[in-house]
Amino acid sequence: MGGSLWWQQPMRAIQTNLQVRDTDKIDPERLARQIKQMGGNVLVFNTGGIYAWYPSRVPYHHVNEFLPENRDLLAEVISCCHRLDIRFVARFDFSKAQDEVYLQQPRWFICDEHRKPKIYGIERPGPWPLLMGACINAGYRGEQVGLPAFREALENYPIDGVFFNAPTYEFCQCEACRRKYRALYAKPLPACAQELEPDFAARCVRDNVGMFYRAMKQIDPDMPMILYYHLYRNDRLADRLATADVLCTEPMDVLSAGHDQIPEPWLPYVDMKIGRKASTGLAPFGIVHSCPGMQWRHTGVPPAEYRFWMSQIPAAGGNLWCSLTGVPDTVTDRRILSCVEQTNRDAQKIEQAMHGAREIVQVLLLWRWESTARHWAQALLNTQIPFDAMQNDQVTMENLARYQVVIVPEGHPTSQIWPMLEQWTRRGGRLIWEGVQAPESAAQAQFWGIEPDCACSAPLEASYLRLEEGAHQLKKALESTELLAHSGKVNYCTPLARAQVWATLVPPFAPVSAVGAPPERASLPAPKTQIPLCLVCSCQAGQVLYLPFQLGEMLGKYRLPEHFRLVKNIVEAMLPGPPVFQMEPICGLQTAVYEKDDADGGRTVLIHWVNGVGQRPLCTNVPLYDLRCTLRLQSGEAPVCAVSQIAGETVRIQAQPGAVTLCLEKLAVWDVIALKLDKKALKGVWTG
């Protein structure tokens, strides 16, 4: 079964979200073979909580009444998995319990100010018992049921790892919550969640999960706990790492929300980027549900969309975790099974090459969901600029030193990290700062390259952005257009003498209600102004590029290719030299680049391409042909060979001094080019 720290190796997990009435359809030996056939090396299987999937002796721990008599199904499943070298992760969920438990122990459950419980399934048809929400601070999720049941399972079964579903806090006004709140803050529990102390929810989760974590480590110090990295609803990395060994997230492709609310195509990619930083480099799990929404959990995401979504997880450096509704024999949409198998097989082809690989990335995007970071991410991906995403709790001088460019999107809170950003920039960093807010101080205005006296405009429409004559770096592929579409607020500011103005505002030529008037009345009243929309200034050894307008909002609202190109030009203009990786933009194509040292002293560069071209949800995977990119080489390096790791397609390479051009003949869904580099003489010839 390998070493004790199995969870530090590449993993491909398959979760069976089990339906209790299908228990008799579970054949342990067949299930293990199916997981193996689908490329999984980890099975996530229901164990305890709402239902015990073994003959539990803990009072109030409801045993699945559909379990076979005179057999231990859980023991058989674990044994069959281990025989095929499949690790078994036990799934627990103590967030709810059947109403029979509530009737006997109502004080263990969530209640409102009128002592009414939180009930799930009131309107559900069929002869099902109600489920009652359990309080995180009371006995069912604690020392009366949860902890003893947890210990019972871990002490009696050879479980390899633990995963908690729904270990979150929900607002509750039971006596246990009132006592805890008063003990922590010396005041009564407020009447609504909005009035809670900011750290109360995180404190409750940390205390509860920490109890289980310590119990697990007492039983087996090497057993991993798998938890969601956003669990504590705060930015404290220490909270997460104190109660988890492996982090996970669920980038759900919720198509059931409707086409106008379709999830952003970059969600798995960015989730893995953040997760890698949150777990200090250990690959996180990306949990991908096979259904297009929980109300349609018995059908699957369209195969083309599903393949694209899943492929982003390993391409962005994560471990793939596929969640099925039931075991393979009860899955009603058989298409998803072949998709899971194909993606796992693809991931298996490159996981050893990827294990321990380092990302080649020059750009850092500071991340917060409430900021415009999500729109910047879309632009960076659509222009194939490899980037990292990082939350404030991960920002240190050591981490910042790994990047040449840092992007601060509008809406990102910077008060705590401002001193580090300033110091990093003065030491030679290149900072891109977006936003219409006024500077917090004269020193910050000086840093941005503007006078302190600023004023924010009303939202502008029918306005334009003009690239100035001296802004040659921003005009690449935009040479034939004088004006770019603009809308939104502007921070009216005056540049300092040392600042270079690269773009200016062209004010609205008419109110929106009149833009359709006869063209002879549509001339620009002010075709040129001195109002900057992009300015650059030196800051000791570094540079600051300030965008006093809402570029991120425009990226999200309009998604015009010229705005994406503007982002690409801005980022590349701020790099201290030519980009390490570069290609002409293809909207819908995602790129990630890694490197790994070879035993012979050379290195291998791994270039991932994930094809999401087309209108989503993808109806078919539209192949791309003759994909070209250029990689800047280190001193004295030359290419030896380049291989398509997944599809086996033809890759052509051409070396030139200091760089190499690669051409992949065809990309269907996901492929990885492995480029072997050595310290040899340069050869300017095409090879296969």
CATH code, domain with 629 = 2.60.40.1170
What's the pLDDT band for 679 if we cut at 50, 70, 90? confident
The 3-state DSSP class for residue 75 equals helix
Residue 298 phi/psi, 5-degree rounding, is -100, 10
Last-in-domain residue among 186, 219, 244: 244
Is residue 190 scored above 70 in pLDDT?
yes
Is residue 534 scored above 70 in pLDDT?
yes
* Amino acid 28: pLDDT: 98
Which residue spans within 480-577 are E strands per DSSP? 483-488, 491-492, 500-506, 532-539, 542-547
Read off the pLDDT of each residue in 423-431 and give the average, rounded to a whole number.
98
* Amino acid 564: pLDDT: 98
Is residue 393 scored above 90 in pLDDT?
no
Last-in-domain residue among 229, 244, 259: 244
* Amino acid 520: pLDDT: 72
| Mean pLDDT score of the chain | 93
Among the listed residues 199, 222, 109, 209, the one whose alpha carbon sits nearest the alpha carbon of residue 168:
209
Q: Which residues contact 609 (CB under 8 A, 6 or more apart)?
A: 589, 590, 591, 627, 664, 667, 670, 671, 672, 673
d(CA 477, CA 582): 14
d(CA 171, CA 401): 41
Asked if 562 and 647 sit in the same domain, the reply is: no
Is residue 524 scored above 90 in pLDDT?
no
Read off the pLDDT of each residue in 413-423 and give the average, rounded to a whole number.
95
d(CA 653, CA 87): 41
Amino acid type, 331: V
Asked if 624 and 545 sit in the same domain, the reply is: no
Contact 163, 89 (CB under 8 A): yes
More confidently predicted of 656 and 609: 609
Read off the pLDDT of each residue in 509-516 and give the average, rounded to a whole number.
81
Q: Which residues contact 518 (CB under 8 A, 6 or more apart)?
A: none
- Residue 431 lies inside a defined structural domain of this protein: yes
- Residue 251 lies inside a defined structural domain of this protein: no
* Amino acid 104: pLDDT: 97
Asked if 508 and 630 sit in the same domain, the reply is: no
Is residue 280 scored above 90 in pLDDT?
no
568-585 pLDDT per residue, tens: 999 999 999 999 999 999
* Amino acid 687: pLDDT: 39
- Rg (the chain; Cα; Å): 28
* Amino acid 1: pLDDT: 40
- Residue 446 lies inside a defined structural domain of this protein: yes
Q: Which residues contact 92 (CB under 8 A, 6 or more apart)?
A: 47, 48, 49, 146, 150, 153, 162, 163, 164, 165
Asked if 573 and 599 sit in the same domain, the reply is: no
* Amino acid 384: pLDDT: 98
Whole-Å CA distances, 402 to 162, 275, 399, 575:
34, 17, 6, 13
- Residue 179 lies inside a defined structural domain of this protein: yes
Is residue 2 scored above 50 in pLDDT?
no
* Amino acid 394: pLDDT: 87
556-569 pLDDT per residue, tens: 999 999 999 999 99
d(CA 630, CA 653): 10
H or E element that contains 34 = helix 28-37
* Amino acid 3: pLDDT: 46
d(CA 669, CA 651): 16
3-state secondary structure 618-662: CCCCCCEEEEEEEEECCCCCEEEEEEECCCCCCEEEEEECCEEEE
* Amino acid 277: pLDDT: 79
Asked if 549 and 664 sit in the same domain, the reply is: no
* Amino acid 517: pLDDT: 77
Asked whether the CA dihedral 383, 388, 393, 397 is positive or negative, the reply is negative
b/e map of 523-541 (b: 16 or more CB within 10 Å)? eeeeeeeebbbbbbbebee
Contact 172, 137 (CB under 8 A): yes
Is residue 377 scored above 60 in pLDDT?
yes
CB atoms inside a 10 Å sphere around CB 593: 22
d(CA 672, CA 659): 19
- Residue 216 lies inside a defined structural domain of this protein: yes
d(CA 390, CA 278): 8
H or E element that contains 98 = strand 96-98
Amino acid type, 571: V
- Residue 67 lies inside a defined structural domain of this protein: yes
Could you check whether the bond before residue 617 is cis, i.e. omega within 30 degrees of 0? Answer: yes
| Residue 168: CATH number of its domain | 3.20.20.80
Read off the pLDDT of each residue in 293-310 and give the average, rounded to a whole number.
95
Last-in-domain residue among 534, 557, 577: 577
What's the pLDDT band for 236 if we cut at 50, 70, 90? low
Q: What's the angle, vertex CA 242, arms to CA 238 and CA 245, rounded to 5?
A: 115
Read off the pLDDT of each residue in 350-354 and give the average, rounded to a whole number.
94
Residue numbers of the domain that contains 608: 589-678
Q: Which residues contact 607 (CB under 8 A, 6 or more apart)?
A: 581, 591, 592, 593, 629, 631, 662, 672, 673, 675
* Amino acid 685: pLDDT: 37
Asked if 48 and 94 sit in the same domain, the reply is: yes
* 614 Rama class: left (phi>0) / alpha (psi -120 to 50) / beta: left
d(CA 384, CA 583): 7
Is residue 683 scored above 50 in pLDDT?
no
d(CA 61, CA 67): 14
H or E element that contains 594 = strand 589-597
Asked if 542 and 599 sit in the same domain, the reply is: no
Whole-Å CA distances, 178 to 138, 214, 218, 373, 682:
11, 25, 31, 38, 72
Asked if 569 and 617 sit in the same domain, the reply is: no
Asked if 548 and 638 sit in the same domain, the reply is: no
- Residue 469 lies inside a defined structural domain of this protein: yes
* Amino acid 341: pLDDT: 98
* Amino acid 510: pLDDT: 82
- Residue 348 lies inside a defined structural domain of this protein: no
| Residue 538: CATH number of its domain | 3.40.50.880
More confidently predicted of 517 and 30: 30
3-state secondary structure 534-547: EEEEEECCEEEEEE
What's the pLDDT band for 606 if we cut at 50, 70, 90? very high
Read off the pLDDT of each residue in 258-264 and give the average, rounded to a whole number.
93
Asked if 449 and 563 sit in the same domain, the reply is: yes
The 8-class DSSP code of residue 39 comes to: T
Q: How many CA within 13 A on the CB side of residue 301?
A: 29
Q: Which residues contact 383 (CB under 8 A, 6 or more apart)?
A: 564, 565, 567, 568, 585
Asked if 642 and 606 sit in the same domain, the reply is: yes
Asked if 570 and 594 sit in the same domain, the reply is: no
Q: Quick one: CA torsion of 79, 84, 85, 86, rounded to 10 degrees?
A: -70
Contact 284, 328 (CB under 8 A): no
Percentage of residues in the chain with pLDDT exceeding 70?
97
98-119 pLDDT per residue, tens: 999 999 999 999 999 999 999 9
More confidently predicted of 231 and 289: 289
What's the pLDDT band for 238 if we cut at 50, 70, 90? low
Contact 77, 26 (CB under 8 A): yes
Give me the number of domains the chain comprises.
3
